[in-house]
Amino acid sequence: MDMAKLIREQARLIILKALAEQVDETLNSDFLVLELQRFGIRKDRAWVHDELRWLGEMGAIVTTQAGTLLVATLSAKGARHVLREIAIEGVQRPSRPGA
């Protein structure tokens, strides 16, 4: 499998999980850049914006432009993916609890 594709799929899951961990299920793109770096994915804001737009097109998040940032909010569909109730093609599946 293509490494770039694997990185994108994993980054998308990391983004969804990071949003799910927030009380309001919302983060801006700069915070998401930092979150991805914690997992060894070092990409710039433009790359993260592309992934946020893709997740928005899939219905996993809702995005809002705030100046030069994108603000992402988890949707019901994105939350269902994180909970393993559904699978969104192109997003890595979360591990099973306890696995």
CA angle 41, 8, 99 (to 5 degrees): 80
Instruction: List, in sequence order, the alpha helices (H) in the chain.
Output: 3-20, 29-38, 45-57, 76-82
Considering the domain boundaries, does residue 30 fall inside one? yes
- Whether 99 maps to a domain, the answer reads no
Mean pLDDT confidence for 38-48: 97
Q: What is the CATH number of the domain that holds 9?
A: 1.10.10.10
When pLDDT is cut at 50, 70 and 90, the band that residue 27 belongs to is: very high
pLDDT of 77 over the 90 cut:
yes
Residues in contact with 59: Cβ distance below 8 Å, sequence separation at least 6, in sequence order? 75, 77, 78
Please say if the pLDDT value at position 99 is more than 90. Answer: no
Residue 77 lies in a domain: yes
Share of the chain above pLDDT 90, in %: 94
- Count of structural domains, the chain: 1
- pLDDT tens digits along 50-61: 999 999 999 999
97 inside domain: no
Q: Is residue 94 part of a domain?
A: no
> Between vectors from CA 39 to CA 17 and to CA 8, what angle results, nearest 5°?
70
Range 71-92 burial, b when 16+ CB lie within 10 A, else e: bbbbbebbbebbeeeeebeebb
Provide the residue type at 53 as one letter. Answer: R
Print the domain residue range for 20: 3-82
* 42 part of a folded domain: yes
Mean pLDDT value across residues 14-39? 98
Residue 11 belongs to some domain of the structure? yes
* Residue 89 belongs to a domain: no
